[in-house]
A and B are shown apart, each in its own frame.
Chain A
Amino acid sequence: MAYHNGALAALADPTRRTIFERVAERPRAVGELARELPVSRPAVSQHLRVLKEARLVVDRSAGSRRIYTLDPAGVAALRSYLDRFWGDALAAYQAALAEHEQEVP
């Protein structure tokens, strides 16, 4: 719960939200974000740190740069949810077809 409140709080800040959205589009380096946005590089780093603590983004190093991407745990949650949804939906589809077959021999 605390973890989750952290994610919501992290996105409440408009600049941080913009940074998060840019990272959601594709992986980004700190310098790239700082160039695109009217925010200093240290400020971008600070925002990314908050997003990382909220487990919304993860980083990896690429040479001297740090590349930020969305935290895969988020997409894993969505995937699990839809996996279950499609499982239920296709089971119902299968059952509907079975009924169909009985009606139309």
Chain B
Amino acid sequence: MSTQTARATVWKSIVVDAPIERAFSVFTEDMTSWWPPEHHIIEAELAEMVFEPRAGGDVYDRGVDGSECRWGRVLAYDPPHRVVFSWHINPHWRLETDPDRTSEVEVRFTAEGPDRTRVELEHRHLERHGEGWSAMRDAVDSPDGWGLTLRRLAERL
């Protein structure tokens, strides 16, 4: 069971050269500045990413044409220490409309000094994406996707 959970969770930990407050605010309020541009799920050209700073708020992409794509829900908002949001993006990098098939991202911020912060990210419950796994294999298999290397890696795990 624990192996199953481990396989369905991604952990990341980095240290950034910034005070905890700034590390937290750039992560949440200023997502647009760092989010990989090829990973937006909105169809229109991106105007900004919005992270509504409260539990129950939405996380969304806003297009220059005013369109919106709400791809996350804030589950916990505890500045500057912790934030949890749901992940409504399916393995095809499209919006997942079934709430039972969404995963969860928790980010914890720990001050390691006045200008140094540890940021730990956990993306969990990936198993909830359910049938998306087969779609994932599609992406993994496609010649212009992650390709065979990743599939081989996946099969070795």
Binding site for B on A (CB under 8 A): 1, 4, 7-8, 11, 17, 20-21, 24-25, 56, 69-98, 100-101
Say which residue of B39, B121, B134 sits within 8 Å of A56 (CB atoms): B134
Per the 8 Å Cβ criterion, residues 35-58 of B in contact with A are: 35-36, 39
Q: Among the interface residues A4, A21, A95, which one has the most CB atoms of the partner chain B within 10 A?
A: A4
Per the 8 Å Cβ criterion, residues 3-40 of B in contact with A are: 3-4, 7-10, 12, 14, 16-18, 22-23, 26-27, 30, 33-36, 39
Given contacts A96-B34, A97-B23, A100-B22, contact A75 B127 (CB under 8 A): yes
- Ordered by A's residue number, 5 sampled pairs between the chains whose C-beta atoms are within 8 Å are A7-B137, A56-B133, A74-B133, A75-B126, A76-B154
The answer on a CB contact under 8 Å between A101 and B12 is: no
Say how far B136's CB is from chain A's closest CB, in angstroms: 5
Give chain B's interface secondary structure class: helix
The answer on a CB contact under 8 Å between A96 and B10 is: no
Task: List, in ascending order, chain A residues with CB within 8 A of B7's CB.
Answer: 72, 75-76, 79
B64 at the A interface (CB under 8 A)? no
- Bound together, the chains give a CA A88 to CA B121 distance in angstroms of 13
B129 at the A interface (CB under 8 A)? yes
- Bound together, the chains give a CA A4 to CA B23 distance in angstroms of 42
Say which residue of A79, A90, A97 sits within 8 Å of B22 (CB atoms): A97
Task: List, in ascending order, chain B residues with CB within 8 A of A95's CB.
Answer: 34
Task: List, in ascending order, chain B residues with CB within 8 A of A91's CB.
Answer: 14
Say which residue of B26, B27, B115, B132 sits within 8 Å of A78 (CB atoms): B132
